[in-house]
Protein backbone atom coordinates (compact mmCIF):
# COMPACT_ATOMS: atom_id res chain seq x y z
CA UNK A 1 0.00 0.00 0.00
CA UNK A 2 1.14 3.52 -0.79
CA UNK A 3 0.07 6.57 1.19
CA UNK A 4 0.78 10.24 0.66
CA UNK A 5 2.15 12.63 3.29
CA UNK A 6 -1.37 13.11 4.66
CA UNK A 7 -1.95 9.39 5.18
CA UNK A 8 -4.36 9.00 2.26
CA UNK A 9 -4.29 5.68 0.40
CA UNK A 10 -2.97 6.11 -3.15
CA UNK A 11 -2.17 2.60 -4.29
CA UNK A 12 -2.70 -0.99 -3.18
CA UNK A 13 -1.50 -4.23 -4.77
CA UNK A 14 -1.52 -7.92 -3.91
CA UNK A 15 1.53 -9.89 -5.01
CA UNK A 16 1.27 -13.49 -6.13
CA UNK A 17 4.78 -14.06 -4.78
CA UNK A 18 6.21 -11.98 -1.98
CA UNK A 19 9.82 -12.41 -2.99
CA UNK A 20 12.55 -9.87 -3.70
CA UNK A 21 12.11 -9.92 -7.49
CA UNK A 22 8.38 -9.20 -7.41
CA UNK A 23 8.78 -6.57 -4.70
CA UNK A 24 11.45 -4.80 -6.73
CA UNK A 25 9.18 -4.78 -9.78
CA UNK A 26 6.49 -2.88 -7.86
CA UNK A 27 9.01 -0.46 -6.36
CA UNK A 28 10.69 0.07 -9.72
CA UNK A 29 7.31 0.90 -11.28
CA UNK A 30 6.67 3.49 -8.55
CA UNK A 31 10.09 5.00 -9.20
CA UNK A 32 9.31 5.20 -12.94
CA UNK A 33 6.23 7.22 -12.04
CA UNK A 34 8.55 9.78 -10.50
CA UNK A 35 7.72 9.00 -6.86
CA UNK A 36 10.38 9.48 -4.24
CA UNK A 37 9.67 7.06 -1.41
CA UNK A 38 11.04 8.43 1.85
CA UNK A 39 9.73 5.95 4.43
CA UNK A 40 8.65 2.31 4.09
CA UNK A 41 6.72 0.50 6.83
CA UNK A 42 7.06 -3.27 6.65
CA UNK A 43 6.66 -6.45 8.65
CA UNK A 44 9.56 -8.83 9.17
CA UNK A 45 9.43 -10.64 5.82
CA UNK A 46 13.11 -11.03 4.90
CA UNK A 47 12.66 -9.96 1.25
CA UNK A 48 11.57 -6.43 2.12
CA UNK A 49 14.81 -4.68 3.23
CA UNK A 50 17.04 -5.78 0.29
CA UNK A 51 14.29 -5.01 -2.25
CA UNK A 52 13.73 -1.55 -0.80
CA UNK A 53 17.43 -0.71 -0.60
CA UNK A 54 17.95 -1.84 -4.21
CA UNK A 55 15.34 0.59 -5.62
CA UNK A 56 15.15 3.34 -2.99
CA UNK A 57 18.54 3.27 -1.24
CA UNK A 58 17.84 6.46 0.73
CA UNK A 59 14.43 5.36 2.05
CA UNK A 60 14.02 4.82 5.77
CA UNK A 61 12.71 1.41 6.88
CA UNK A 62 10.44 1.28 9.92
CA UNK A 63 9.20 -2.08 11.18
CA UNK A 64 5.52 -1.57 11.91
CA UNK A 65 4.76 -1.53 15.65
CA UNK A 66 1.84 -3.96 15.23
CA UNK A 67 4.22 -6.60 13.89
CA UNK A 68 6.88 -5.83 16.50
CA UNK A 69 4.37 -6.57 19.27
CA UNK A 70 3.07 -9.58 17.35
CA UNK A 71 6.57 -11.08 17.28
CA UNK A 72 7.11 -10.38 20.98
CA UNK A 73 3.79 -11.96 21.94
CA UNK A 74 4.52 -15.01 19.81
CA UNK A 75 7.52 -15.88 21.99
CA UNK A 76 5.69 -15.13 25.23
CA UNK A 77 2.57 -17.05 24.23
CA UNK A 78 4.61 -20.11 23.32
CA UNK A 79 6.32 -19.98 26.72
CA UNK A 80 2.94 -19.66 28.47
CA UNK A 81 1.65 -22.73 26.62
CA UNK A 82 4.65 -24.76 27.79
CA UNK A 83 4.18 -23.54 31.38
CA UNK A 84 0.46 -24.38 31.30
CA UNK A 85 1.07 -27.98 30.25
CA UNK A 86 3.79 -28.45 32.88
CA UNK A 87 1.60 -26.89 35.58
CA UNK A 88 -1.31 -29.23 34.85
CA UNK A 89 0.76 -32.42 35.00
CA UNK A 90 3.01 -31.44 37.95
CA UNK A 91 1.06 -33.26 40.67
CA UNK A 92 -0.07 -36.89 40.74
CA UNK A 93 -1.98 -36.59 44.02
CA UNK A 94 -5.69 -36.92 43.04
CA UNK A 95 -6.89 -33.98 45.14
CA UNK A 96 -4.02 -31.73 44.06
CA UNK A 97 -4.42 -32.81 40.46
CA UNK A 98 -8.08 -31.82 40.51
CA UNK A 99 -7.23 -28.42 42.01
CA UNK A 100 -4.49 -27.85 39.46
CA UNK A 101 -6.80 -28.76 36.60
CA UNK A 102 -9.25 -26.11 37.80
CA UNK A 103 -6.50 -23.48 37.98
CA UNK A 104 -5.21 -24.65 34.62
CA UNK A 105 -8.61 -24.15 32.98
CA UNK A 106 -8.96 -20.73 34.60
CA UNK A 107 -5.53 -19.64 33.37
CA UNK A 108 -6.25 -20.78 29.83
CA UNK A 109 -9.69 -19.17 29.77
CA UNK A 110 -8.32 -15.79 30.84
CA UNK A 111 -4.88 -15.96 29.25
CA UNK A 112 -5.60 -12.89 27.11
CA UNK A 113 -5.48 -10.76 30.28
CA UNK A 114 -1.72 -11.37 30.49
CA UNK A 115 -1.28 -9.73 27.08
CA UNK A 116 -3.68 -6.78 27.52
CA UNK A 117 -2.50 -3.35 28.61
CA UNK A 118 -3.76 -2.34 32.04
CA UNK A 119 -5.62 0.75 30.79
CA UNK A 120 -7.73 -1.45 28.51
CA UNK A 121 -8.97 -3.73 31.30
CA UNK A 122 -12.29 -3.32 33.06
CA UNK A 123 -12.54 -3.48 36.86
CA UNK A 124 -13.67 -7.10 36.63
CA UNK A 125 -10.78 -7.98 34.35
CA UNK A 126 -8.35 -6.30 36.75
CA UNK A 127 -9.75 -8.48 39.52
CA UNK A 128 -9.39 -11.66 37.45
CA UNK A 129 -5.84 -10.75 36.46
CA UNK A 130 -4.88 -10.19 40.09
CA UNK A 131 -6.33 -13.60 40.97
CA UNK A 132 -4.22 -15.22 38.25
CA UNK A 133 -1.10 -13.46 39.53
CA UNK A 134 -1.81 -14.57 43.10
CA UNK A 135 -2.44 -18.16 42.00
CA UNK A 136 0.75 -18.22 39.93
CA UNK A 137 2.92 -15.94 42.04
CA UNK A 138 6.65 -15.89 41.25
CA UNK A 139 6.15 -18.05 38.15
CA UNK A 140 6.35 -17.42 34.42
CA UNK A 141 2.80 -16.05 34.49
CA UNK A 142 3.75 -13.18 36.80
CA UNK A 143 7.05 -12.68 35.01
CA UNK A 144 5.30 -12.28 31.63
CA UNK A 145 3.12 -9.46 32.99
CA UNK A 146 6.11 -7.66 34.52
CA UNK A 147 8.27 -8.18 31.44
CA UNK A 148 5.58 -6.76 29.14
CA UNK A 149 5.32 -3.73 31.43
CA UNK A 150 9.09 -3.22 31.17
CA UNK A 151 8.94 -3.46 27.38
CA UNK A 152 6.16 -0.87 27.27
CA UNK A 153 8.47 1.51 29.10
CA UNK A 154 11.10 0.96 26.41
CA UNK A 155 8.67 2.06 23.68
CA UNK A 156 6.60 4.64 25.53
CA UNK A 157 9.19 6.39 27.69
CA UNK A 158 12.15 6.48 25.32
CA UNK A 159 12.45 9.96 23.82
CA UNK A 160 15.57 9.18 21.80
CA UNK A 161 17.21 6.21 20.13
CA UNK A 162 19.93 6.16 22.79
CA UNK A 163 17.35 5.99 25.56
CA UNK A 164 15.76 2.95 23.91
CA UNK A 165 19.20 1.30 23.67
CA UNK A 166 19.85 2.06 27.34
CA UNK A 167 16.46 0.68 28.42
CA UNK A 168 17.08 -2.60 26.59
CA UNK A 169 20.58 -2.85 28.06
CA UNK A 170 19.10 -2.39 31.54
CA UNK A 171 16.71 -5.30 30.97
CA UNK A 172 19.71 -7.52 30.19
CA UNK A 173 21.56 -6.27 33.27
CA UNK A 174 18.48 -7.08 35.38
CA UNK A 175 18.79 -10.70 34.22
CA UNK A 176 15.67 -11.14 32.12
CA UNK A 177 17.60 -13.13 29.52
CA UNK A 178 18.56 -15.70 32.16
CA UNK A 179 15.10 -15.85 33.73
CA UNK A 180 13.42 -17.56 30.75
CA UNK A 181 14.35 -18.54 27.21
CA UNK A 182 11.35 -16.62 25.86
CA UNK A 183 12.62 -13.37 27.38
CA UNK A 184 16.07 -14.00 25.92
CA UNK A 185 14.57 -14.54 22.46
CA UNK A 186 12.53 -11.33 22.74
CA UNK A 187 15.54 -9.25 23.74
CA UNK A 188 17.66 -10.84 21.00
CA UNK A 189 14.92 -10.12 18.46
CA UNK A 190 14.80 -6.45 19.51
CA UNK A 191 18.58 -6.17 19.46
CA UNK A 192 18.88 -7.76 16.00
CA UNK A 193 16.41 -5.28 14.48
CA UNK A 194 17.21 -2.32 16.70
CA UNK A 195 17.80 0.31 14.01
CA UNK A 196 14.62 -0.40 12.03
CA UNK A 197 12.36 -0.95 15.06
CA UNK A 198 13.32 2.46 16.46
CA UNK A 199 13.67 4.39 13.21
CA UNK A 200 10.92 6.70 14.49
CA UNK A 201 13.30 7.77 17.28
CA UNK A 202 16.24 8.29 14.92
CA UNK A 203 14.58 10.07 12.01
CA UNK A 204 12.19 13.04 12.33
CA UNK A 205 8.83 12.53 10.65
CA UNK A 206 8.83 8.74 10.84
CA UNK A 207 5.92 7.27 12.79
CA UNK A 208 5.85 4.13 14.89
CA UNK A 209 2.62 2.84 13.32
CA UNK A 210 1.91 2.38 9.63
CA UNK A 211 -1.88 1.96 10.07
CA UNK A 212 -1.60 -0.73 7.41
CA UNK A 213 -3.70 -3.20 9.38
CA UNK A 214 -6.60 -0.73 9.56
CA UNK A 215 -6.42 -0.17 5.81
CA UNK A 216 -6.29 -3.90 5.10
CA UNK A 217 -9.37 -4.50 7.24
CA UNK A 218 -11.15 -1.77 5.30
CA UNK A 219 -10.22 -3.31 1.97
CA UNK A 220 -11.26 -6.77 3.09
CA UNK A 221 -14.72 -5.49 3.95
CA UNK A 222 -15.20 -4.90 0.24
CA UNK A 223 -14.83 -8.65 -0.30
CA UNK A 224 -17.70 -9.49 2.01
CA UNK A 225 -21.34 -9.86 1.05
CA UNK A 226 -22.53 -6.74 2.88
CA UNK A 227 -20.96 -4.51 0.22
CA UNK A 228 -21.36 -6.96 -2.63
CA UNK A 229 -17.71 -7.27 -3.72
CA UNK A 230 -16.26 -10.75 -3.41
CA UNK A 231 -13.59 -10.55 -6.09
CA UNK A 232 -10.41 -8.59 -6.67
CA UNK A 233 -11.91 -7.03 -9.81
CA UNK A 234 -14.99 -5.84 -7.95
CA UNK A 235 -12.92 -4.26 -5.20
CA UNK A 236 -10.65 -2.45 -7.68
CA UNK A 237 -13.62 -1.08 -9.62
CA UNK A 238 -15.20 0.15 -6.41
CA UNK A 239 -11.99 1.92 -5.40
CA UNK A 240 -11.83 3.57 -8.84
CA UNK A 241 -15.38 4.81 -8.34
CA UNK A 242 -14.54 6.27 -4.94
CA UNK A 243 -11.49 8.07 -6.34
CA UNK A 244 -13.52 9.40 -9.29
CA UNK A 245 -16.19 10.77 -6.98
CA UNK A 246 -13.60 12.36 -4.72
CA UNK A 247 -11.36 14.03 -7.27
CA UNK A 248 -13.41 14.46 -10.48
CA UNK A 249 -16.96 15.18 -9.43
CA UNK A 250 -17.71 18.88 -8.84
CA UNK A 251 -18.27 19.85 -5.23
CA UNK A 252 -21.78 21.12 -4.63
CA UNK A 253 -22.03 24.42 -2.73
Helices (H) and strands (E) in the chain, counts: 13, 4
* CA-angle at 7, arms to 3 and 12, nearest 5°: 30
176 found inside a domain: yes
| 51 and 99, same domain (yes or no) | no
Backbone angles phi, psi at 165, to 5 degrees: -60, -45
Q: What's the total number of domains in the chain?
A: 3
Backbone angles phi, psi at 42, to 5 degrees: -135, 165
Question: Distance (Å, rounded) from C-alpha 26 to C-alpha 51?
Answer: 10
| 183 and 160, same domain (yes or no) | yes
The residue segments making up the domain with residue 33 are 1-63
50 found inside a domain: yes
Can you spell out the DSSP letters for 19-63?
SHHHHHHHHHHHHHTT----EEEE-S-TTHHHHHHHH-TT-EEEE
Global model pTM greater than 0.85? no
| 51 and 161, same domain (yes or no) | no
13 found inside a domain: yes
| 94 and 52, same domain (yes or no) | no
| 2 and 110, same domain (yes or no) | no
Are 176 and 190 a contacting pair, CB within 8 Å?
no
| 82 and 109, same domain (yes or no) | yes
Are 20 and 51 a contacting pair, CB within 8 Å?
yes
Are 168 and 201 a contacting pair, CB within 8 Å?
no
pLDDT tens per residue, the chain (253 residues)? 777 666 666 677 777 788 899 899 989 988 998 888 899 999 998 999 999 999 999 999 999 999 999 999 999 999 999 998 888 777 667 777 777 888 889 999 999 999 999 999 999 999 999 999 999 999 999 999 999 999 999 999 999 999 999 999 999 999 999 999 999 999 999 999 999 999 999 999 899 887 665 555 555 555 544 445 456 666 667 666 666 665 555 544 4
Domain boundary among 63, 92, 109: 63
Domain boundary among 63, 91, 115: 63
211 found inside a domain: no
Domain boundary among 11, 41, 63: 63
Bridging pattern class, strands 9-11 and 60-63: unpaired
Question: Distance (Å, rounded) from C-alpha 140 to C-alpha 146?
Answer: 10
Question: Distance (Å, rounded) from C-alpha 75 to C-alpha 64?
Answer: 18
202 found inside a domain: no
DSSP SS3 for 239 = helix
186 found inside a domain: yes
212 found inside a domain: no
Amino acid sequence: MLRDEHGRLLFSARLKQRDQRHLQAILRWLRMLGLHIQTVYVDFWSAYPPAIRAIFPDAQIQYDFFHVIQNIHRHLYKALTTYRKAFKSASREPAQRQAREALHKKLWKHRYLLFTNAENLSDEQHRLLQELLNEHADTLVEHIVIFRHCLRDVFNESESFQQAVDHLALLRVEGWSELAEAFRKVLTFLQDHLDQIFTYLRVPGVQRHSLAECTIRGLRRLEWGRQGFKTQHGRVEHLKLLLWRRYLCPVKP
